[in-house]
């Protein structure tokens, strides 16, 4: 069985590395390559590939937006490519076949490709496509916010429920996720994570911090129209005037 494959990544070195790795598999035929989300949509519609390696973070349409833009069936099987493991869970939330982290690790690459081959050779491929189609309908009906994040701690990886996070703090190219008992470091920006959180539950209060509204114990007026937020564990946080907008009623009305 020949598996017609499409590669889409805005970084040329990543596209070249994927194409090179795929040469080791005779049944994989790379039919085209794209460098952005719009090209991805057009190439998928033009070639109807069996398998797509799709970068998550691209200018314009990102990888998830590409999936949402597809309006035909059967949908191809998708393997998301990302440099940030925070997107791994989201990849599965949109019923992607699998995901690959950059830089590509050969053993992991082979496992992912073996899994893709198995799906495409069995009836499960149709089930996966149907599942993705159903989920796309749900995604188009309204915003979806992340419920769990993939984190690493003590040599293991697990899914952390966002509702357990009390405070999120920016740290350059990382964010720190604080729960009542532990803290975890996740690669990514606070802006990127904020977009994936339900704004009715999480509030950006200053340049570097996001709070879980359920973790707030007290709210006190402060100088120059700002507020001082006290969390359940006693942590004190400044609510900057710059971030006090129409969403402020979510918190102010509680006190």
CATH code of 158's domain: 2.40.50.1020
Residue 12 to residue 200: CA distance in whole angstroms: 39
Name the nearest CA neighbour of 165 among 93, 86, 242, 227: 86
Is the CB of residue 11 less than 8 Å from the CB of residue 34? Answer: no
**In terms of pLDDT, which residue wins out, 136 or 161?**
161
Q: What pLDDT sits at residue 154?
A: 77
Mean per-residue pLDDT of the chain: 82
Three-state DSSP class for residue 203 = strand
Q: Give how far the C-alpha of residue 193 lies from the chain's centroid of Cα atoms, to the nearest Å.
A: 9
**In terms of pLDDT, which residue wins out, 72 or 182?**
182
Q: What pLDDT sits at residue 93?
A: 52
Name the nearest CA neighbour of 239 among 146, 231, 183, 178: 231
Partnered with residue 156 across adjacent β-strands are 153
Instruction: Identify whether residues 167 and 230 lie together within a single domain.
Output: yes
Residue 166 to residue 214: CA distance in whole angstroms: 8
The beta strand positions in 67-147, using DSSP E, are: 77-82, 98-101
Q: What is the pTM of this model?
A: 0.53
Q: What pLDDT sits at residue 46?
A: 92
Q: What pLDDT sits at residue 243?
A: 84
Domain residues for the domain of 17 are 3-141
Whichever domain contains 18, its CATH number is 3.40.50.2300
- Structure-block tokens of residue 58: 């691209």
Is residue 139 predicted with pLDDT exceeding 70?
no
Q: What pLDDT sits at residue 137?
A: 58
Which residue in this structure is represented by tokens 């994936």?
196
Instruction: Identify whether residues 20 and 106 lie together within a single domain.
Output: yes
Rounded CA Rg of the chain: 21
Helix, strand, coil share of the chain (percent; to 5): 40, 30, 30
pLDDT level of residue 255 (50, 70, 90 thresholds): low
- What is residue 189's DSSP assignment? -
pLDDT level of residue 206 (50, 70, 90 thresholds): very high
Instruction: Identify whether residues 76 and 132 lie together within a single domain.
Output: yes
Residue 63 region by backbone torsions, left for phi larger than 0, else alpha for psi between -120 and 50, else beta: alpha
Mean pLDDT of 9-20: 93
Last residue of a domain, one of 113, 141, 169: 141
Instruction: Identify whether residues 190 and 72 lie together within a single domain.
Output: no
Instruction: Identify whether residues 68 and 94 lie together within a single domain.
Output: yes
Number of domains in the chain: 2
Q: Give how far the C-alpha of residue 195 lies from the chain's centroid of Cα atoms, to the nearest Å.
A: 10
Last residue of a domain, one of 107, 141, 175: 141
**In terms of pLDDT, which residue wins out, 215 or 241?**
215
Is the CB of residue 201 less than 8 Å from the CB of residue 254? Answer: no
Highest mean pLDDT among 78-87, 155-164, 194-203: 194-203
Is residue 38 predicted with pLDDT exceeding 80?
yes
Is the CB of residue 206 less than 8 Å from the CB of residue 239? Answer: yes
Q: Distances in Å between the alpha carbon of 193 and those of 52, 57, 148?
A: 25, 13, 12
Last residue of a domain, one of 122, 141, 160: 141
Residue 251 to residue 116: CA distance in whole angstroms: 46
Q: What is the pLDDT of residues 79-105, one digit of tens each?
A: 888 876 655 555 555 455 677 888 888
- How many Cα atoms are found within 13 Å in the side-chain-facing hemisphere of 154? 3
Is residue 136 predicted with pLDDT exceeding 60?
no
pLDDT level of residue 142 (50, 70, 90 thresholds): low
């Amino acid at each position: 069985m020949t598996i017609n494959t499409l590669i889409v990544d805005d970084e040329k070195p990543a596209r070249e590395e994927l194409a090179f790795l795929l040469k080791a598999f005779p049944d994989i035929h790379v039919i085209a390559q794209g460098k952005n989300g719009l090209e991805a949509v057009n190439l998928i519609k033009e070639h109807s590939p069996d398998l797509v390696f799709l970068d998550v973070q691209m200018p314009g349409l990102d990888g998830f937006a590409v999936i949402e833009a597809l309006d035909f069936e059967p949908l191809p099987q998708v393997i998301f490519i990302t440099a940030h493991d925070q997107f791994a869970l989201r990849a599965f939330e949109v019923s992607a076949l699998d995901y690959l982290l950059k830089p590509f690790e050969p053993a992991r690459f082979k496992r992912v490709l073996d899994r893709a081959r198995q799906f495409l050779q069995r009836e499960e491929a149709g089930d996966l496509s149907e599942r993705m189609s159903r989920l796309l309908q749900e995604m188009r009906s309204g915003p979806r916010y992340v419920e769990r994040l993939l984190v690493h701690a003590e040599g293991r990886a697990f899914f952390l429920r966002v509702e357990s996070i009390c405070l999120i703090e920016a740290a350059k190219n990382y964010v720190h996720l604080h729960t009542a008992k532990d803290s975890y470091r996740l690669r990514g920006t606070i802006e990127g994570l904020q977009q994936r959180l339900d704004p009715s539950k999480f509030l950006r209060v200053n340049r570097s911090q996001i709070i879980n509204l359920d973790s707030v114990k007290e709210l006190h007026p402060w100088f120059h129209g700002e507020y001082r937020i006290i969390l359940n564990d006693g942590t004190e946080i400044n609510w900057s005037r710059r971030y006090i907008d129409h969403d402020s009623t979510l918190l102010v009305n509680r006190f």
